């Protein structure tokens, strides 16, 4: 996550190393955010200066804070207009099923953008007297503005996939889609220039004085992973976290509900994080259903009887007419979601291409001792802040993908046997704007061959750590065990030289036969980190600001290196 410092020289060194915060050149003079400047100057270091100048008022001068609040307000008005346009297309009728599916995704995502911009704008408007945002406020707004661009990109990707049957519709949406993306990018640029750059850096995490990794329970939980599982299984979630209410799902009829979807629908709406979790205990069984935890179902904790015991499974895929976004067996949008001891599965198979087991666009979401099973596009870490601990992920092509700020700890990533002619890529990170605070951290994990891949000798499968889905793709693998199946080059291009100069891929302190970096790619955006300070930017403390919210979940985590 972008680190910020008091001194310009130190800040510039970090910006040039990793492009964390914004694309500004460090040798350009940068006025203090509170200094009045004309709009043309304010726009110089945004992602699209010409478009920015067309947005900001042309008369008079103001400061970067005022411009930031103004552009956020303009973005909110634009989001409402774009949603109205999507609704008009859906109301027309006569569209292909592919076009309708893509538009419905856009409808959901545009509604989320309105929510996010409303929240971000309200927070920024509280700063009119002193222009001050402190952690976690600044990080919260940065996360929301980053997610707005991700939502817009997902909408655009879906419409482009439907182009063959809905080209006329895309023609009507192409221009407003592009303008919306530019406006949201400018708002993010102005926000980072005004608020993010001036924030003091969060304190460095001190190295522990004992061999035990640092865990932050804040009194809720401070035990080993095994102890956590025991307490969850025997004593229930109330042993470690505050509980607002609880229900049980059991296919035999012994619980409150027989399906997971019914239990989610029964959860209270808009539960606050201080009220405790609404706990859904899901008894062992195979639940064949597609489940959505919508945006108004917040702070839901779902606890199963164990990996392979409590299984939620489906088989939606792109080949069968679903969008990638809506192919998910289990989708989460509601903030503060926690899942423990469960399996999420998509059985469509490799021939059906994109087929998501779990899609998560829930801020402050946590998955512990869970398994995600699929082939292509298994785990869609779509947006916002997420944490995965002691989980298993199975897949083939781009099987951990999306544009969240996400950290995986103590997880095992299993490369499965793909179709003939396919290569395996563990990650496909989708950061599309240099100011987004997103990226994928894989820390203390294992990257291995699943049994069917290890046993296959019919054809050789090339395995890579990842490839750049979007222009500013960012992935860091550190302190992990990498098996020898990974190609010496490590990373795979997406298409020619696309993103090779703008991506940020890094490896730090890994082990195993596949961790040798001597023959890695020589892309400008690839790095072998040798500094704990550099690697520290991608830890739980900095990547997802986990010290502020993970203690509430009761799930163990390592805050630093």
Query: Within a domain: residue 303?
Result: yes
The confidence band for 231, taking pLDDT boundaries of 50, 70 and 90, is low
In a domain, 219, yes or no: no
Max CA-CA distance within the chain? 71
182 with 281, same domain: the answer is no
pLDDT at 207 over 70: no
Q: Quick one: 246 and 370 in the same domain?
A: yes
Same domain, yes or no, for 307 and 368?
yes
369 occurs within a structural domain = yes
Q: Of 136 and 394, which is predicted with more confidence? A: 394
pLDDT above 80 for 223: no
Residues 163, 289 within the same domain = no
Residue 148 maps to a domain: yes
Residue with the bigger pLDDT between 165 and 352: it is: 352
Contact between 423 and 389 under an 8 Å Cβ cutoff? The reply is no
Domain contains 434: no
CA dist 265 and 294 (Å) reads: 9
pLDDT of residue 240: 66
| 64 and 177 belong to one structural domain | yes
Q: Is the per-residue pLDDT at 454 higher than 70? A: yes
Q: In what order do the strands lie in the sheet with 392-395?
A: 285-288, 310-314, 343-346, 371-373, 392-395, 412-415, 446-449, 481-482
Residue 250 known to be catalytic: no
Report the pLDDT value the prediction gives residue 59, as an integer from 0 to 100.
81
> Which CATH number covers residue 159?
1.20.140.40
Q: Is 80 exceeded by the pLDDT of residue 475?
A: yes
| pLDDT higher than threshold 80 for residue 304 | yes
Per-residue pLDDT at 86 exceeds 90: yes
Same-domain pairing of 192 and 267: no
141: nearest Cα among 122, 156, 157, 169: 122
Residues 298 and 354 in one domain: yes
Average pLDDT for the chain: 87
User: What share of the chain in percent tops pLDDT 70?
Assistant: 85
Q: Give me the long-range contacts of 263-267 (CB less than 8 A, separation at least 24).
A: 264/291, 264/292, 264/293, 264/297, 264/300, 267/297, 267/300
Domain shared by 296 and 149, yes or no = no
Does residue 237 belong to any structural domain of this protein?
Answer: no
192 and 43 in one domain? yes
Note down the domain range covering 90. 39-196
Tracing tokens 């994990």 back to the chain, one arrives at: 445
Q: Is the confidence at residue 281, as pLDDT, over 80?
A: yes
Distance CA 291, CA 358 (A): 10
Per the CB < 8 A criterion, the answer to whether 184 and 520 are in contact is: no
Interval 120-130 mean pLDDT? 91
pTM for the structure as a whole? 0.89
Inform me whether the pLDDT recorded for 67 exceeds 50.
Answer: yes
Number of domains composing the chain: 2
pLDDT(165) > 60: no
Task: Kindly state the average pLDDT of the residues 482-504.
Answer: 97
CATH of the domain at 327: 2.160.20.10
Alpha-carbon torsion, ordered 37, 43, 46, 52, to 10 deg: 140
Last residue of a domain, one of 196, 213, 228: 196
Q: Which of 140, 157, 398, 410 is catalytic?
A: 398
């Amino acid at each position: 996550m972008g680190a910020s410092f008091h001194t310009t020289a130190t800040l510039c060194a970090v910006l040039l190393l990793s492009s964390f915060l914004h694309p500004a050149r460090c040798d350009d003079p940068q006025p203090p955010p509170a200094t009045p400047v004309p709009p043309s100057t304010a726009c110089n270091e945004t992602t699209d200066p010409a478009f920015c100048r067309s947005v900001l008022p042309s008369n008079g001068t103001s400061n970067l804070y005022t411009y930031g609040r103004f552009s956020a307000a303009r973005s909110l008005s634009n989001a409402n207009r774009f949603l109205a346009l999507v609704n008009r297309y859906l109301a027309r009728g006569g569209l292909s099923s592919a076009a309708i599916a893509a538009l419905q995704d856009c409808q959901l995502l545009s509604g989320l953008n309105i929510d996010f911009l409303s929240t971000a704008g309200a927070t920024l408007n509280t700063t009119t007297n002193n222009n001050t945002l402190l952690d976690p406020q600044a990080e919260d707004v940065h996360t929301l503005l980053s997610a707005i661009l991700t939502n817009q990109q997902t909408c655009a990707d879906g419409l482009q996939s439907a182009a063959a049957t809905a080209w006329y519709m895309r023609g009507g949406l192409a221009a407003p889609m592009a303008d919306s993306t530019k406006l949201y990018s400018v708002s993010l640029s102005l926000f980072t220039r005004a608020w993010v750059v001036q924030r003091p850096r969060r304190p460095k995490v001190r190295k522990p004085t004992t061999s035990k990794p640092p865990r932050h329970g804040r009194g809720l939980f401070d035990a080993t992973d095994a102890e956590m599982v025991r307490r969850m299984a025997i004593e229930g979630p109330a042993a470690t976290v505050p509980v607002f209410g609880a229900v049980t799902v059991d296919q035999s009829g012994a619980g409150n509900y027989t399906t997971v979807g019914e239990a989610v629908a029964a959860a209270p709406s808009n539960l606050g994080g201080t009220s405790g979790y609404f706990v859904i205990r899901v008894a062992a069984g195979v639940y064949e259903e597609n489940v959505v935890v919508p945006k108004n179902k917040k702070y839901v904790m779902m606890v199963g009887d164990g990996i392979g015991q409590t299984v939620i499974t489906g088989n939606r895929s792109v080949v069968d007419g679903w969008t990638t976004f809506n192919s998910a067996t289990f989708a989460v949008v509601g903030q503060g979601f926690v899942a423990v001891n469960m399996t999420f599965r998509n059985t469509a198979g490799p021939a059906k291409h994109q087929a998501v087991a779990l899609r998560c666009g829930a801020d402050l979401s946590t998955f512990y001792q869970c398994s995600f099973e699929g082939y292509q596009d298994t785990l869609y870490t779509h947006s916002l802040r997420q944490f995965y601990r002691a989980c298993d992920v199975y897949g083939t092509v781009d099987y951990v993908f999306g544009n969240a700020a996400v950290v995986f700890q103590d997880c095992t990533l299993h490369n499965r046997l793909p179709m003939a002619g396919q290569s395996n890529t563990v990650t496909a990170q989708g950061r599309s704007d240099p100011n987004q605070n997103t990226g994928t951290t894989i820390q203390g994990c294992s990257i291995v061959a699943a049994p069917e891949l290890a046993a296959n000798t019919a054809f050789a499968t090339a395995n890579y750590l990842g490839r750049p889905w979007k222009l500013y793709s960012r992935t860091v693998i550190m302190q992990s065990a990498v098996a020898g199946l990974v190609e010496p080059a490590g990373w795979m291009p997406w298409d020619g030289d696309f993103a090779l100069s703008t991506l940020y891929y890094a490896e730090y302190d890994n082990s195993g036969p596949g961790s040798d970096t001597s023959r890695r790619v020589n892309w400008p955006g690839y790095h072998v980190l040798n500094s704990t300070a550099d690697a520290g930017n991608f830890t739980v403390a900095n990547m997802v600001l986990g010290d502020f919210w993970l203690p509430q979940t009761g799930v163990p985590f390592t805050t630093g290196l």
